[in-house]
Every structure is written in C-alpha cells, then in structure tokens.
Copies of this chain bind each other. A is one copy, B any other.
C-alpha cells in the first residue's frame, strides 16, 4: 500500500459545500464505474498498471549496447517516458526530442555519437508530421548503418506511414495498443520502455499505480474528491485555472505530463480549466506574488515529497559566518525546501485560497506510479462531471491540414 500518499484539501470559507456534496456523489459513482470497467477488462491504459507486458525484455534487448538512447515523439509519445526518466539515475542517458526546431534538434544530436546511440521513434497514429520528420533526419544522422540494431519503432497496427517505412527499413516494430490514447499511455510500453531503459524498476511504478487504482472504488477516493473539488470550484467559484506545483525538480516534467492530460481531456465545448505547471521553490520567486495577491481564479495543488534530512547539511563556512543564518545552520538543504513548501501552503491558506497538498513520502518509482494513476483517474472523473469526452481531441485537426497546405505551397513555389 502507498500508505504515505495523503491528500489534504483546504476549502475557502465561502466554498459551496452543497454543490460539492452533490458532485462528490457523482464523482464516486464515476469512480465505481471505472473500477467496474477495469475489472471487466476495459480501460487497458489503467489496467496496464496491473500486469507485465514484456516491456522489460524489450528494453534489455534493445538498449544493452548503447550509452545514449534518443526517443523521438511528441505529446503523449514523450511526456510519460520523460517524466519517468526524470527520477532515474541512469547509466544509459535517455533523451527526448519532441520538437522540430532545427536548431534545438541539431544541438541535441551534436552532443551524441551515432555509433553508441539507439533511437526509439514513437507515434501512435504513425502519421505525426513532427516525428516522421525527425525520423528521416535521424536516420541520415545514423548514416543508415545497422538500422536494425539501432532503431526501434512503436506505432499501432494497420496501414500508417511510420509502420510502412519501418517495414521497408526492416527495423523492429512494437505495437502501440490502439485502445490506449497517447496522453493515457504512460503505464503502457510507451512510457515504460524508456523508463526501463533508464534503469527504473517499472514493476514498482505499476505497483504504485495499482495501489491507487485499487482504492478508486472505495468511498471518497482521493481522485474522486480531487475531481469534485476542482469542478465545484470551476462551476461555482469562477476558478478557471488549476496550478500543479511540486516541490521537486524531478517532478517538473510530471507537471508537464499532467498539463497535457488535463488540457486535452477537459478543454472542449467551451468548458474546462487551464492547467498550469509551477515548481517549488523556484516559482515562489516568479509566480507566488500573483497567486497570493492577484485574482482569485486558481485552484492550487502542492505536491510535497518528504525531503527531511536530505542533501548537504548547512554549517558555517571556514572563517565565514553570520548570525542572521542561525535559522539555516544545522539544517539540510532538504529541510529548507520542505519548510518552504509548508510555508507556501500556509500562505495560500492564510489568503483563504482553495488549496490542497498531496504528500507522497519519498519520491521514487512507487510514489510516481501513484501520482500517474491519481491524476489519470481524477481527469477522467473531472471530464465526466463536466459532461466531456475525456478521450478525444477534435479541435487540433485543422492545424494539421493547414500545415500540409502551407508546405504544399512552399513546394509549388520552389
């Protein structure tokens, strides 16, 4: 059990408790239905938490000989794996290239050696323009040598561009489960393969996720409460932003993963709230003034890992000390970040702002898995409370069509 996973909600004085109580009943009902779906073999992106799917074998087979692995892919194809790798202390360096900025792309490759670098290209649909463009550039960079050893493709079955090209190149293809949408794919091979390559114990990530999933059907699970609070604040308190502020560098990417998950799932039909990522302590020096004294339009979630006794202990330097640092002497760097997280929480509470803190214990595979599952469930429940389909993203198709049109015009002009 993830006994260390604790969610505390602090409601503002004028909180609409009646509306919340009604939404919580619905939220619990949705959580029950999700549990039933999982038990019935549906929602494979959640039940991926419950089983081994050979990811570890695939990772061992592919990555043994490399010093570096580059993951090509964007959105859901990169954020989950990247989030996992951020907590790893890896022998193999895993790099995530998500953009088609030629400058950024070239700089990243300049630091790598094509002789000792493996490449994984991930696109669910197999038709993502950015990833296909990257794939072409990196095959040229690899010099077409040993592609069968160096390149691995993850895409869904069927007739798509990436699968066809991978077939023509003769490189290995792993199947992207067509029932797992990109932003919900972290616990599948899409997120777990990079995690395993980076040396993480993916069984522990999945166990942490399973713990939370198993609790989803209990009354008032943390995910159901979180969704009900969030949507109550949106519907009845003009809160249209939701800030996720972990106090850990390694969770900065987690907040980006969450941003995609929440934004694409609930941002439809004029509804939804805007997810905002922040990082403690850094954003105390950037965003906290606005949070405390600006408009009251945000719901705050602090993620507070247990940093007690971690890191360097601060003592007076040789021949250099100052009484004004008495508060710091004898404490560790971890004590300081923990005290700052607690102070920010109290400052938000003192302003009567809606805030919750999620205490996770030590940040590791298990607690990261728990966070993934918590926020996937909360997002699915939140979308249901808004009456939104959590699994599509219809609005972005136009841009893809326009991109092709503009490139065609360049072609015609050439």
A residues whose Cβ falls under 8 Å from a Cβ of B: 74-76, 79, 89, 98-107, 127, 129-130, 132-134, 136-137, 139-140, 144, 161, 164-165, 168-169, 182, 240-241, 247-250, 256, 259-260, 263-264, 266-274, 276, 279, 281-282, 284-298, 307, 310-312, 314-315, 317-322, 324-328, 330-340, 342-344, 346-347, 350, 363, 393-396, 398-400, 402-408, 410-411, 414
The answer, among B99, B132, B297, B408, for a CB contact under 8 Å with A281, is B99
**Copies of the polypeptide in the assembly:** 2
| B-side contacts of A165, CB under 8 Å | 317, 320-322
A290 and B310 contacting across the interface, CB-CB below 8 Å: no
Give min CB distance, A41 to chain B, whole Å: 29
| Given A101-B248, A282-B74, A395:B288 Cβ within 8 A | yes
Task: Give Cα A127–Cα B325 distance, bound, in whole angstroms.
Answer: 9
A99 and B337 contacting across the interface, CB-CB below 8 Å: yes
| Given A168-B320, A264-B286, A294-B271, A89:B107 Cβ within 8 A | yes
Task: Give Cα A224–Cα B344 distance, bound, in whole angstroms.
Answer: 35
Give min CB distance, A372 to chain B, whole Å: 16
B270 and A293 contacting across the interface, CB-CB below 8 Å: yes
B324 and A102 contacting across the interface, CB-CB below 8 Å: no
B335 and A240 contacting across the interface, CB-CB below 8 Å: no
A393 and B289 contacting across the interface, CB-CB below 8 Å: yes
> Please, which residue of chain B has its CB at the minimum distance from the CB of A276?
B276
List of 9 A-B pairs having minimum Cβ-Cβ separation, nearest first = A102-B311, A267-B290, A75-B285, A104-B249, A267-B294, A343-B402, A168-B320, A260-B286, A293-B395
Task: Give Cα A139–Cα B293 distance, bound, in whole angstroms.
Answer: 37
B279 and A276 contacting across the interface, CB-CB below 8 Å: no
- The residue among A164, A248, A334, A335 with the most chain B CB atoms within 10 A of its own CB is A335
> Please, which residue of chain B has its CB at the minimum distance from the CB of A183?
B286
| B-side contacts of A274, CB under 8 Å | 241, 276, 290, 294-295, 297-298
| Given A274-B290, A320-B165, A337-B101, A285:B260 Cβ within 8 A | yes
B281 and A74 contacting across the interface, CB-CB below 8 Å: yes
Give min CB distance, A102 to chain B, whole Å: 2
B403 and A334 contacting across the interface, CB-CB below 8 Å: no
> Please, which residue of chain B has its CB at the minimum distance from the CB of A262?
B290
| Given A274-B297, A318-B144, A310:B102 Cβ within 8 A | yes
Task: Give Cα A256–Cα B410 distance, bound, in whole angstroms.
Answer: 33
A284 and B399 contacting across the interface, CB-CB below 8 Å: yes
| Given A99-B279, A104-B250, A168-B320, A136:B293 Cβ within 8 A | no
